[in-house]
Amino acid sequence: MRRVFIAAAAAFAVSLAFMAHIEAQRAQPIKAGEVPQRKRVAPLPPRGTYVAPRTPWGEPDITGVFTNSDESGIPFERPPEFEGRRMQDVTPAELAKIVQQRQEQTIERTPGLSEFPGATSPMHWFENYYASNSRPWLVIDPPDGKVPPPTAEAQKRAADRQAARKGRGPADSWEDRSLYDRCITRGIPGSMMPAIYGNSYRIHQSPGVVTITYEMVHDTRVIPIDGRAHVAPSIRQYVGDGRGRWEGTTLVVETTNFTDKTPYRGSSDQLKMTERFTPLGPDTVEWAVTFDDPHTWATPWTFAMNLTKADESQQPFEYACHEGNYGMRNMLSAARAEEKSK
């Protein structure tokens, strides 16, 4: 199957080159070898003191284009070097040093991602340079910064999936590939996690409804905030069924009715995901996500990151995934070629 993986890597590189071309068009003109600087956001006031502007109908206004490129490179769970420490115990000086180290590692690593072996890609192709991380790791609850271990039921579910695929390769059929490979969805919260490209999101508000459009695979969630109930349990959706409400200045979105085709870290279709969008300053909204799924974890857990407001030039671009999905064709054709050679 080595050829399959080579084809997959080549297909990813071509896709990366295409997206990099788009990002280069989005960037401001820069000189050769120069790296564009990230937006300077307004300093955050003490937590809980910022007064968000209001929409014409009186709700907190978080409308706009956002990006989480500045959160690129943050470890999901607490790194070993912080064993025994809480996130709030990490000093600003320590965080600044860590962020500088991550930036240097990104600059050293990323130019080698190119569509041609031995070539290098211009640094301005990538969105995650000079990421000004807001925190040392993402998991904020439980306090140890670790995702709770999977339950016995979740382990059995994972083992059953592996057993069902026994004897199959990663490209025996198009159904063996992920929904992301197939240009259907990256799921939630996957579509909103930092990556090397596609990190733009647009939040739009109107009376009774909030919508969130993701650049990654170009999903759009339509979230009623008028108090209506969730759809019937028999209706399952790739990004679940979201219902929102305001708690002070925080938009709270509870999402249920997931399908088992879009699990996150092994979650079941009984997952309840609660997101909290809290404006911290004129340029910053904190996005916190809680996972409650007793079929997968014994206790709920939460991660959080900051979203930075961007100007209209950073609006989500067309993803056009199906139109350019040579990766799927290449992976399947390489698998067929591998079979014929045996």
Residue 275, Cβ neighbours under 10 Å: how many?
Answer: 22
| Helix-helix angle 2-26:326-341, to 10 degrees | 160
Tell me, what's the pLDDT at 1? Answer: 43
Report pLDDT for 261.
92
Tokens matching residue 17: 């080159």
Counting Cα atoms < 13 Å in the Cβ hemisphere of 60 gives 20
pLDDT score at 284: 96
Residue 295: per-residue pLDDT = 98
Q: Which residues pair with 222 in a beta bridge?
A: 211
Tens-digit pLDDT string for the chain (342 aa): 444 333 444 444 434 433 443 344 344 443 444 554 566 777 899 998 999 999 999 999 999 999 998 998 999 999 999 999 999 999 999 999 999 998 888 777 766 555 444 555 666 666 777 788 999 999 999 999 999 999 999 999 999 988 988 888 888 998 889 999 999 999 999 999 998 788 999 999 999 999 999 999 989 999 999 999 999 999 999 999 999 999 999 999 999 999 999 999 999 999 999 999 999 999 999 999 999 999 999 999 999 999 999 888 788 988 888 888 888 999 999 999 999 998
Classified as helix, coil or strand, 309 is: strand
> Which tokens is 261 given?
């085709």
Domain residue extents for the chain: 2-341
Q: Which letter does DSSP use for residue 212 in this model?
A: E
CA 241/CA 214 separation, integer angstroms:
16
Q: What does the pLDDT read at residue 280?
A: 96
Outline where the chain has alpha helix (H). Answer: 2-26, 92-109, 152-164, 326-341
In the beta sheet, which residues pair with residue 223?
210
101 neighbors 81 (Cβ within 8 angstroms): no
Query: What is the model's pLDDT at position 317?
Result: 87
**Residue 241 parent element (H or E):** strand 241-247
Smallest Cα–Cα separation from 76: which of 202, 264, 208? 264
Whole-model pTM: value is 0.84
